[in-house]
Structure 1
Amino acid sequence: MRFNKYIALVMLMILSSTALFAQKDTIAEKREARKLVREGNNLYKQQKYTDASVSYKKALEKNSKYKKASYNLGNALYQEKLYKEAVPQYELMSKSAKTKFEKAEAFHNIGNAMMEQKQYQPAVDAYKNSLRNNPNDDETRYNLAVAQKLLEKEKNKDKDKNKDKNNKDNKDKKNKDDKQKDKNKDKKEGDNKDKKDKKDGDGNKDPNKDKKKNDKKNKQKPKPKQGKMSPQQIKQLLESLKNEEKKTQKKMNVKKSKGKKVKQEKDW
């Protein structure tokens, strides 16, 4: 029994020592974290925001629940224009804050970071949360008014954009329908023409049929060549020439008789 009591006493002393050392380590880490935050603050004042961010991150490695380190890290990231990375640090502060003033400050900075990213709806929500915790903050109230105005402008712009898109879609649809109507009309006219041609071939008189037939007949009939006379015309021409020749010969004979001296018998 005494041996068991001795063992239990030794175990208790070991556990107590371990807890004591752990507590000392925790205190040491907290002190180191505070030291790192002070270094970060000095760098921040010198506008060395990147170096300040490194110090704050090291402080959080020593003490992850060190809310001041989170908040200051958010501010340093904000100054580096790393707005997206700054927001989670402010959110940690808003959740761990013990006073309404601290919550209001965290939400205010969330709103500012969202405004820089042109995310106006989240900015409006953040400023409203800040005013719920600190209704007397005029700066937050002013920022809220600006964010609401920009949000309304954005919505109107999107509305106009959607309206233009709908008008364009309707116009494209109308043009498509008109093209389809024209296509259907052409197809219908083509079908009607095919039906008419087929009907004409089945027995209806084709108005061009007789003309084509006559043209074909005329084409087959031999035409007299230009300048060639018919036998009748040649016969008439020969007779006319013969008659002319007779007249000419008769005139020549008369002309000869007038020109020749006629002998007269002498009266002795």
Structure 2
Amino acid sequence: MKHLVIILIALTSIFSYAQEKDEEKLLAIKKANNYVYEGNEQVSQDKYIAAEMEYRKAISEQPANVAGAYNLGNSYYKKNKYDEALYRYEQAAKNSTSKSEKHKAYHNIGNILMKNKKCKEAVEAFKNALRNDPTDDETRYNLGLAKECAEQQKDDDKGNDKDKDKDKKDEDKKDQDKQDNKDKKEGDDKKDEEGKPKDDKQDKGKGDEKKDEKKQQPQPGQLSPQQIKNLLEAMNNQEQKVQEKINAEKQKGVKVKTEKDW
């Protein structure tokens, strides 16, 4: 009997605790809904900053509050704060259990992604919207636009890849030309250091000097130019002596002719 009483007391405590938690949860939901309502009132009066504060209170009171996140996303969207709006729409889509709410959230996510030029991601967002509401013609139309945009971006990416490949090839060719010129210059400098003349005229002059020297140097068994000259002079002198001797002998045998006596 004593154990039974203890069990009943424990069960009563658990029930009371659970009841209190349920009441707190219901109270939080009620407060969050009131904040959302106040936020909507502010939006109707174009007081977006005040509305944003109310929606934030709703989310703070109940983090999974879909209406608060979605409406806060709308508030950011109207102020062109697309990154903040995207975050709130994604939050709403994640926490929502209603197909209608999911459809609206994904539809708006797709619109923001299109504005950010993320067409491929926008296609998936609009597809998710249509999965939750296949009858929405506006979503279907936006999906078509997103697909065209994604295809265009794909073609542009291919073109950019080709341009990049061409630029890389041109750059590689320039680098190779620079290296070839560098190697050529280093080769020329190396030849100069080894004593090879740069000037063709100088090379030609030196070649002529070598030819003259070669001509002046007698070959084995031959007379030098100076020796030949001396020999010729000696021969001329000898010939002159012989001629003088012959002339002297003729002079002795010549008769003297007298003048005619008139």
Counterpart of 1:229?
none
Counterpart of 2:103?
104
Distance 1:100 1:15 in 2: 35
Counterpart of 2:77?
78
Distance 1:5 1:44 in 2: 58
Give the stretch that moved more between structures: 150-159 or 106-115. Answer: 150-159
Give the Å deviation of 1:105. 1.7
1:60–1:66: 8 Å Cα contact kept in structure 2?
Answer: yes
2:115 paired with 1:116: yes
Structure 1 residues 191, 10: closer, same or farther in 2, change over 3 A? closer
Structure 1 residues 101, 27: closer, same or farther in 2, change over 3 A? closer
1:50–1:80: 8 Å Cα contact kept in structure 2?
Answer: no
Q: How many residues align structurally?
A: 206
Distance 1:212 1:126 in 2: 95
2:204 paired with 1:207: no
2:129 paired with 1:130: yes
Counterpart of 2:147?
148
Counterpart of 1:53?
52
SS at the partner of 1:173?
A: helix
Give the Å deviation of 1:109. 0.9
Counterpart of 1:28?
27
Matches within 5 A, 1:5-16: 11-16=10-15
2:42–2:50: 8 Å Cα contact kept in structure 1?
Answer: yes
Give the Å deviation of 1:183. 3.3
Counterpart of 1:95?
94
Distance 1:10 1:148 in 2: 64
Structure 1 residues 184, 15: closer, same or farther in 2, change over 3 A? closer
1:166-209 residue CA offsets vs partner (Å, 9 max, x unmatched)? 222212221222232233344445556666849xxxxxx95154
Q: Percent same amino acid at aligned positions?
A: 35
SS at the partner of 2:207?
A: coil
2:192 paired with 1:178: no
Give the stretch that moved more between structures: 144-153 or 189-198. Answer: 189-198
**What amino acid sits opposite 1:46 in the alignment?**
Q
Distance 1:27 1:116 in 2: 39
Distance 1:13 1:138 in 2: 55
Distance 1:179 1:24 in 2: 81
Distance 1:136 1:7 in 2: 59
Structure 1 residues 124, 99: closer, same or farther in 2, change over 3 A? same
TM-score (ref. length: structure 2) = 0.65
**What amino acid sits opposite 2:152 in the alignment?**
K
Give the Å deviation of 1:61. 2.0
Counterpart of 2:167?
168
2:102–2:129: 8 Å Cα contact kept in structure 1?
Answer: yes
SS at the partner of 1:207?
A: helix
**What amino acid sits opposite 1:22 in the alignment?**
K
Give the Å deviation of 1:35. 0.9
**What amino acid sits opposite 2:156 in the alignment?**
K
Q: Gapped runs of 5+ residues in structure 2?
A: 198-204, 214-262
1:205-260 residue CA offsets vs partner (Å, 9 max, x unmatched)? 951545999xxxxxxxxxxxxxxxxxxxxxxxxxxxxxxxxxxxxxxxxxxxxxxx
